[in-house]
Amino acid sequence: MLRAGVIAVQGDVAEHAAAIRRAAERHGESVSVEEIRTAGTVPDCDLLLMPGGESTTISRLLAEEGIDEEVREFAASGKPMLVTCAGLIVASRDAKDDRVATLSVLDVTVDRNAFGRQKDSFEAALDVRGLDDPFPAVFIRAPAIGEVGDGVEVLAEFDGRPVAVRQDNVVGTAFHPELTDDSRIHGLAFFESD
Ligand code: GLN
C-alpha cells in the first residue's frame, strides 16, 4: 500500500485525493491518501502533492508549520512529487514576489497570474508529452513558467509559454489537473516515473 500525502494547509485537497485514487486504480496500485497540515508526515509518504490555492498563503503556512524543509527533503529524496498552480509557484526557484518563499525544488522561474485578466479562468486542450491525447487543462489565475533550467523538461506549452514541466521526480503544472475526471497527469507524475 502506497502512502500519498496531499499538502492541505490551503487549496483543493479532496479533488486531488480523488484523482490520486483514480490514477492508482488505473495503474493497479493501492494507495492511502493523507491530508497534511502539520510537520512529521511528509517524510513517511511515498508520493507527495502540493496543490493550487494562494501561493503567498501556502508558503507562509508551510514555513509556520515547519513543513517547508520536509518538502525540500522529500523532493531531494527522489520520490515522486506533483505540484500544481500555486504549488508550482511555491516549488519554483523564483516567483518574483517577496511574499512567496520559494522552495527551489524545480529549477524554473514563474510569473504569477500571467495569462491576463480576461483569461482569469479558461480551459484548453493541451498536448502533453507522455500522454497520447490532449489533456483538458483548467487554468485559474494561472502562472506561466519563465526561465527553465538545464535539467528541466518542458512537457506542455500554452500561448508559447511552458505550463507543464518535469525535473527528475518532480512534475509541475500551471493548470489544475484535478478539476476534470481525467487523472492522467496524476498517473504520469506518480505511477509512470522515468
Ligand atoms: N494566482 C494564484 C497565486 O498566485 C494561483 C492560483 C491557483 O492556484 N489557481 O498564488
What residue owns the CA closest to ligand 1's atom 9? 140
Q: pLDDT exceeding 70 applies to what percent of the chain?
A: 97
Mutate to test the pocket of ligand 1, among 85, 92, 97, 122 (most ligand atoms within 8 A of CB): 85
User: Which segments within 37-85 are labelled E, that is strand?
Assistant: 47-50, 81-84
Ligand 1 contact, 140 CB (< 6 A): yes
Ligand 1 contact, 52 CB (< 6 A): yes
Cβ distance 46 to 79 under 8 Å? yes
Q: For residues 35-41, give the mean pLDDT.
A: 98
Average pLDDT, the chain: 96
Whether 118 shows a pLDDT value over 80: the answer reads no
pLDDT in tens, 68-95: 999 999 999 999 999 999 999 999 999 9
Whether 96 shows a pLDDT value over 90: the answer reads yes
Ligand 1 contact, 112 CB (< 6 A): yes
Whether 194 shows a pLDDT value over 80: the answer reads no
The ligand 1 atom at the shortest distance from the C-alpha of residue 11 is 8
Helix axes of 184-191 and 14-26: crossing angle, nearest 10 degrees: 70
Q: Which spans in the chain are helix H?
A: 14-26, 55-65, 67-77, 86-91, 184-191
- Domains of the chain are 2-190 (3.40.50.880)
pLDDT in tens, 151-189: 999 999 999 999 999 999 999 999 999 999 999 999 999
Active site residue 176: yes
Q: What is the pLDDT of residue 11?
A: 80
Whether 53 shows a pLDDT value over 80: the answer reads yes
User: Do the bridges between strand 161-167 and strand 153-158 make them parallel or antiparallel, or are there none, so unpaired?
Assistant: antiparallel
Q: What is the pLDDT of residue 127?
A: 98
The whole-model pTM stands at 0.97
**Distance of CA 69 from the midpoint of ligand 1 (Å):** 21
- Residue at grid coordinates 498517473: 187
